[in-house]
Amino acid sequence: MLANVFTSSEGRSIMQDLDRSKALIDLCNKSFGSCNHKVIYHAALVLFNYLLSFEGDSKSKLQQHLEQSLKAIDEALSNPSLTDKDCLLSLLLCECRILYKNQEMVTWVEESFKLFFKETHNELENNTQHADVKQAKQDLFSMVDFKD
Q: What is the pLDDT along the chain (148 residues), one digit of tens a residue?
A: 455 677 777 877 787 888 999 999 999 999 999 999 999 999 999 999 999 888 777 889 999 999 999 999 999 999 999 999 999 999 999 999 999 999 999 999 999 999 999 999 999 999 999 999 999 999 999 999 977 6
Biggest alpha carbon distance in the chain?
A: 45
- Write the CA distances from 79 to 46, 76, 84, 90, 146, integer angstroms: 21, 5, 11, 15, 23
CA–CA dist 88, 86 (Å, integer):
6
Q: How many CB atoms lie within 10 A of CB 32?
A: 22
| Distances 44 to 24, 76, 92, 147 between C-alpha atoms, Å | 11, 11, 9, 28
Alpha-carbon distance of 12 to 4, in angstroms, equals 10
The CATH T-level fold of domain 2-141 is Leucine-rich Repeat Variant (1.25.10)
What pLDDT, on the 0 to 100 scale, is given for residue 1?
47
